[in-house]
Structure formats: structure tokens, C-alpha cells
Amino acid sequence: MKLSYVTNSIIIFSSLFATLFFSSCNSGENLSGYSASSNGLDYKIITDNKQSKAKVGDYVQYYSSIRTTKDSLIFSLKNAGSAEIGQVAAPKQKGDPIEILTLMGKGDSASCLISAETFFKGVQLPAPLKAGDKIKLDIKIVDVFAKADYDSKMVEIENQKVAMAEADALNYIKTNKLNAKRLSSGMYYIVENPGTGATPVNGKNVKVNYRGTLFNGTEFDSSLKPDRTPFEFVLGKGQVIKGWDQGIPLFKVGGKGKLIIPPAMGYGEQGQGSIPSNSWLVFDIEVLGVSDAPNKQGGMQMQ
């Protein structure tokens, strides 16, 4: 996710935060050490590594967390597993938390106070917060880099994500003792039965039964449910995810197996329904038939 500045992340994540529970409860507020900036932001520097401070226009890679003024944790981006990238901008209003980034450098950490109503704008305040309360936004800067270095930094981060995702796939394969083969696209497959019928080719109508799960075993879709029928689509026309267009031709009619599909060939960063963003997908596949494509327009979609 690319954010222009921290206040954007407040809006983007507020609906998620509103559903989370507090992890602890202290007896009283802890507001010691905060002071007001020239722009009216209440803040305090927790760690100062004496590095060059970020400037407007720079990009920062950071972790953030949200606490009540009694230090009850609402959300931690570090616990969620990935740092954000944001661009440092000039404050747009009094008390704008974006200002804190210009007071921090690589390795620094800080905390600032924000109105709960501002942070949870558009959603109901979660208990025990009430109108007039403040929350603590804690920031830990992982790295600071100039705008000119943004593209190369994003490539580096993307490569790190790919490597981590690949490690997850290999761990899944090892844990489940699968004899999987890897395609150059990064997709893995297991042929349990190659089949003896026709081979699916682009432009042909293909009928399949399938069951889709995540690495944790959660089922997100299946044509095998009592109220469902086999799924049909035209191969190679973009009517299904890329992993299917590439993986289904690995089986002939009567064939069965698994497709282990990386996020880029599935639903990517956007996710889909109950499928979280950047999820690997595991499909149990059985190819039932191959026929001429129907004479109709429009694509088909899995439910």
C-alpha cells in the first residue's frame, strides 16, 4: 500500500481498527512527557538516534501502533507483520500528525496524541473511547530515503515480499509433504492423476470441480457444495485468475491435482471476499470436460 502521508493511513485503517479489541487496561492516563509543536501537535520523542531528520518530500518506512491514553493497545502494525511506506508532507491542519515525521530520522521512535474522533472519523468509536478522548499514535522509523530513491526502494521491498511469500509456499509444501513442481511463474502444482481425455487449450470451454483453501486450511470456495454445480469457463480469455489459465492445461480430462498459486497470479494485494490480500491459494482441481466455447459474450466468475 502506498500512502502519501500518515493521516491517509488513519482514514484507510480506521474501519479495521474499530473491530479490534483492546489487549490491556491500565488504571489511569499516562500523558507525561508530551509537549506541543509549533503547529499544535502534542508529541514526544522516545528514541533519537541522532540521524538526519526526514524532510518534506522524503519517503519513510515505518511501523505504527495505536494506544489509548491509558496505554491499552488498539492496533500494532508490527504485529500485523509489515512496515508501511509513506511520503512526508507538510501539515494540512493544526495538530496534523504528519508533522512528527519531520522530527524523526532512521531508527527514531516517537508518540503523538490525536483526537479519537479524528482518527475514527466515519465509524463508531470503539469502547471504552468516547467523544473528546485522545489516542496515542506511536511511530517507529525503519528507514528514510529521498524521493529519487523511491522506485529502487520499492523494488527492494517488493523483492523482499516475494522472497517471504516463496518461503511460506515452501514451508506449506514441506509441512504437508507434497511432491510439488514449480513453474517459472512461481506457481506450484501436483499431478495426482494426469487424466486420459482431451487436453484443455486456449479458446476451449473447460468444466471443472474445485475446492479453494488458504495455507491455514480455511476454505473460501468450492464447487462441491450441495447447492453448487461444476464450474465452466473459456480458457485463456481472462475469465478466471491467471493461475487457473496457466494451471488447468496441466491436466487432461479426468485429471486431478493441486494448484498452489502465488498472490500475483491470484487476487494480489486487493484480495477477494474472504481471501485476504497477498494470499497464496490452494486449489484441488478435477477436470471434467473440454468442449467448444459457447457463442456468448462476457466472462464467468467463481463465487
Q: What is the pLDDT of residues 123-178, one digit of tens each?
A: 888 777 888 899 999 999 999 988 888 788 778 877 887 888 889 999 999 999 99
Q: What is the mean pLDDT of the chain?
A: 84
- How far apart (Å, rounded) are the C-alpha atoms in residues 222 and 228? 8
Domains and CATH numbers, the chain: 2-145 (3.10.50.40), 165-292 (3.10.50.40)
277 neighbors 270 (Cβ within 8 angstroms):
yes
210, 231, 233, 251: which one is catalytic? 210
Give the list of residues 6+ apart from residue 145 with CB closer than 8 angstroms, or none.
58, 59, 60, 61, 153
Q: What is the pLDDT of residues 5-41, one digit of tens each?
A: 344 443 333 333 333 333 334 447 788 899 999 899 9
Active site residue 63: no
Catalytic-role residue among 221, 233, 248, 285: 221
pLDDT in tens, 249-267: 999 999 999 999 999 999 9
Catalytic residue of the set 5, 62, 145, 267: 267
| Cross-strand bridge partners of residue 3 | 86
In the structure grid, which three cell numbers stand for residue 5, read together? 502521508
10 counts as catalytic: no
**What does the alpha-carbon distance between residue 230 and residue 136 come to, in Å, rounded to a whole number?**
51
241 is an active site residue: yes
To the query of whether residue 119 is one of the catalytic residues in this protein, the response is no
User: Active-site residue 120, yes or no?
Assistant: no
- The yes-or-no answer on residue 267 being catalytic is yes
- From the candidates 59, 220, 233, 251, give the one annotated as an active-site residue: 220
